[in-house]
């Protein structure tokens, strides 16, 4: 018999136990670390991040705007298409398949006489509309046709005016815009209609639908509002709470004005959407102040301008549809009425610090939660409410924010006048071109001679070229006119002048006082037209090697 080693078995068992204990300890330690990370981790607040982080946040999609030029931030129709489109009303789109079906329905219609005896084009003939629909699909590939009106007679024989509603493929909202054009038609082979000539934007004046017209009225003592037409698809009236009982039954979140007032528009929106997001999280109505202060960045006077209306810049109608909001003046008025007429006052919880989290307020039963921002900056910024743990629970409702339809009507007008077939270049100059320390080459790289040389390799000669720029001198780009059909924003001043639809509509929002077409509006329109160009040339990607945010920020 072999002698067994009495120490072998205990050593093996001890080694196995040691390895098992070690593995278990590693597992427990890993679970502990993961738990700590899960509890303490919070998504980074892009507003407090570096410039590159801001760039990534606000410019990651194609229709991003010039965030780092202190211009405009992306809004819901740019970044939340999947969310908003699900809520959109159904609308038919005129496609080739739809037109083919229309042709099948009218295939049995024949002319009663030969083509040679057809002296006048019959605009009410269904085949006229089909012919125009086919022509438009080939001519305007960048827009979606939604619905047509029946063509009507133009001013001469053989002319038909027709109106349609559309949206641009670059704009992802479901808002509709309107165009009406004049077409010269003839009769081709097999007695088929053909388009001989198509008029320009809004040329078919006989097809223009009469709009609601308002007589001149007085606002206040001496101010007279001009007679006006208005876009009947805009409804940005201020909603009312109705009866006192409706007010008392509601639950409200009220933010007092904080340090965000008169800050840049990107700062304002980052804070505003925090407050609106908290109201949605708490299932409360957000009390909204429509009065804004435009930062000096966008003002020719280089001074902050108070008294601006939210509706000048953003789509209040859409906001009302997707969020529960009440205007601050209506809210405070109803609150005072209730307290005056009832012994029991409205239950209010005043929150004096942003450190009181939305999660702590979730079960609060008071009618009004009143957040007050009286601390010194930066503790009086609204967006502080959404920092820390709150970032996991409160989502900023970007889908609720669209650009003003009044501004977008100007964008469509400018693009339509160029028949939706143009190229665009964004030329950043202004203060950046003069700052040689941060942008040493920008001034020379965007000079007319250099600019022309670079564009020759990117854009075909004599193409319509829209230049979106902050260059203040109109004639700066004259050298490009010998090679391109140059268009600048100031070529379209009449669209916001004192005879324009925009002017007449905004003057009513401002109690009869004219509204300035300010720097933010200019950049908003400039940007949106730029992104509708077929070929787009960017300053910091195509024209210069300087970094967008200055030296060493690429």
List, for residues 198-225, the tens digit of each pLDDT value: 999 999 999 987 655 444 444 444 444 4
What is each CA distance from 305 to 197, 309, 382, 399, in whole angstroms? 48, 11, 20, 27
* Long-range interactions of 304-308: CB distance < 8 A, separation 24+: 304/262, 305/518, 306/262, 308/518
Q: 């050593």: which residue's tokens?
A: 11
* Bridge partners, residue 314, by sequence: 403
Helices (H), 87-241: 96-105, 126-139
Contact at 8 Å (CB) between 148 and 164? Answer: yes
Q: Could you give the CA distance from residue 219 to residue 103 in angstroms, rounded to a whole number?
A: 53
CA angle in degrees (0–180, nearest 5) for 480-482-486: 50
Token pair of 326 as six digits? 């009440």
- Which residue carries 């809520």 as its tokens? 87
Instruction: Report helix, strand or coil for 456.
Output: helix
Closest CA to 532 of 359, 411, 442: 411
3-state helix, strand, coil in the chain (%, to 5): 40, 15, 40
Q: How confident is the model at residue 172 (pLDDT cuts 50, 70, 90)?
A: confident
Q: How confident is the model at residue 249 (pLDDT cuts 50, 70, 90)?
A: confident
Q: What percent of the chain clears pLDDT 90, i.e. is strictly above it?
A: 62
Distance CA(398)–CA(388), nearest Å, equals 20
> For residue 99, what pLDDT is reported?
81
Looking at residue 47, what is its pLDDT? 35
pLDDT in tens, 339-391: 888 888 899 999 999 999 999 999 999 999 999 999 999 999 999 999 999 99
The token pair that represents 447 in the structure block:
């000079």
Residues 325, 364: Cα–Cα separation, whole Å: 19
Q: Which two tokens stand for residue 247?
A: 């007010």
Task: Please give the Cα distance from 135 to 129 (Å, whole number).
Answer: 10
pLDDT of residue 109: 55
- Does pLDDT of 66 surpass 60? no
Three-class SS of residue 181? strand
Q: For residues 308-328, give the mean pLDDT.
A: 95
Query: pTM for the whole thing?
Result: 0.81
Mean pLDDT, the chain, as a whole number?
83
Query: Tens digits of per-residue pLDDT, 45-58?
Result: 333 333 344 334 43
Distance in angstroms (rounded) separating the CA atoms of residues 451 and 10: 84
Comparing CA positions, the residue from 374, 401, 353, 378 lying closest to residue 263 is 378
**Is residue 538 scored above 50 in pLDDT?**
yes
**In the structure, what pLDDT confidence band is assigned to residue 7 with cuts at 50, 70 and 90?**
very low
pLDDT of amino acid 212: 52
* Cis, bond preceding 378 (omega within 30 deg of 0): yes
How high is the pLDDT of residue 118? Answer: 55
For residue 403, is pLDDT > 50? yes
Q: Is 153 helix (H, G, I), strand (E, B) or coil?
A: strand
Q: 25-34, 243-252, 288-297: lowest mean pLDDT where?
A: 25-34
Ranking 187-191, 268-272, 382-386 by mean pLDDT, the lowest is: 187-191
Query: What pLDDT score was predicted for residue 83?
Result: 39
Q: Residue 189 burial by CB count (10 A; 0-12/13-18/19+): exposed, middle or buried? A: exposed
Length of the chain: 554
pLDDT interval class at 278 (50, 70, 90): very high
Confidence (pLDDT) at 25: 74
Residues 111-167: tens digit of each pLDDT: 444 555 556 788 998 999 999 999 999 999 999 999 999 999 999 999 999 999 999
How does DSSP classify residue 103?
A: H
Nearest Cα neighbor of 204 from 149, 166, 127 is 149
- Residue entry with tokens 């910024």: 381
């Amino acid at each position: 018999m072999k002698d067994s080693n009495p120490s072998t078995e205990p050593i093996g068992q001890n080694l196995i136990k040691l390895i098992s204990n070690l593995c278990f300890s590693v597992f427990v330690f890993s679970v502990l670390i993961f738990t700590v990370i899960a509890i303490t981790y919070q998504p980074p607040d892009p507003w407090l991040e570096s410039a590159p982080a801001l760039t990534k946040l606000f410019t990651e999609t194609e229709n991003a705007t010039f965030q780092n030029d202190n211009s405009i931030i992306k809004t819901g129709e740019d970044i939340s298409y999947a969310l908003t489109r699900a809520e959109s009303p159904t609308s038919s789109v005129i496609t080739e398949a739809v037109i083919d079906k229309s042709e099948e329905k009218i295939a049995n219609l024949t002319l009663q006489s030969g083509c040679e005896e057809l002296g006048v084009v019959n605009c009410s003939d269904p085949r006229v509309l089909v012919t125009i629909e086919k022509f438009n699909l080939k001519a305007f590939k960048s827009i979606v046709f939604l619905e047509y009106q029946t063509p009507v007679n133009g001013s001469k024989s053989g002319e038909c005016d027709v109106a349609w509603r559309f949206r641009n493929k670059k704009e992802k909202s479901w808002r509709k815009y309107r165009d009406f054009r004049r077409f010269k038609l003839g009769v081709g082979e097999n007695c088929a209609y053909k388009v001989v000539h198509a008029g320009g934007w809004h040329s078919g004046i006989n097809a223009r639908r009469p709009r609601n017209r308002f007589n001149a009225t007085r606002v206040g003592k001496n101010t007279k509002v001009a007679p006006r037409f208005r876009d009947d698809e805009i409804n940005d009236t201020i909603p009312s709470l109705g009866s006192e009982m409706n007010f008392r039954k509601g639950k409200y979140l009220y933010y007092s004005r904080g340090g965000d007032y008169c800050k840049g528009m990107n700062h304002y929106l980052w804070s505003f959407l925090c407050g609106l997001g908290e109201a949605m999280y708490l299932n409360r109505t957000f009390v909204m102040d429509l009065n804004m202060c435009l930062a000096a960045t966008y003002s020719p006077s280089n001074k902050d301008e108070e008294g601006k209306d939210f509706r000048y810049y953003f789509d209040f109608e859409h906001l009302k549809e997707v969020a529960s909001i009440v205007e601050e003046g209506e809210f405070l008025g109803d609150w005072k009425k209730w307290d005056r007429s009832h012994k029991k006052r409205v239950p209010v919880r005043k929150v004096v610090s942003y450190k009181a989290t939305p999660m702590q307020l979730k079960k609060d039963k008071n009618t009004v939660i009143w957040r007050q921002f009286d601390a010194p900056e930066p503790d009086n910024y609204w967006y502080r409410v959404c920092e820390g743990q709150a970032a996991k629970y409160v989502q900023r409702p970007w889908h609720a924010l669209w650009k003003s339809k009044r501004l977008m009507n100007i964008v469509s007008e400018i693009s339509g006048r160029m028949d939706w077939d143009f190229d665009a270049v964004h030329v950043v100059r202004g203060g950046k071109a003069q700052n040689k320390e941060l942008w040493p080459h920008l001034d020379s790289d965007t000079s007319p001679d250099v600019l022309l040389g670079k564009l020759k390799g990117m854009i075909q000669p004599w193409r319509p070229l829209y230049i979106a720029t902050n260059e203040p001198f109109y004639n700066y780009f004259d050298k490009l006119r010998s090679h391109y059909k140059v268009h600048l924003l100031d070529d379209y001043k009449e669209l916001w002048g004192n005879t324009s639809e925009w002017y007449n509509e905004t003057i009513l929002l401002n109690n009869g006082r004219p509204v300035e077409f300010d720097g933010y509006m200019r950049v908003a329109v400039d940007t949106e037209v730029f992104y509708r160009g077929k070929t787009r040339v960017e300053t910091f990607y195509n024209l210069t090697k300087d970094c967008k945010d200055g030296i060493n920020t690429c």
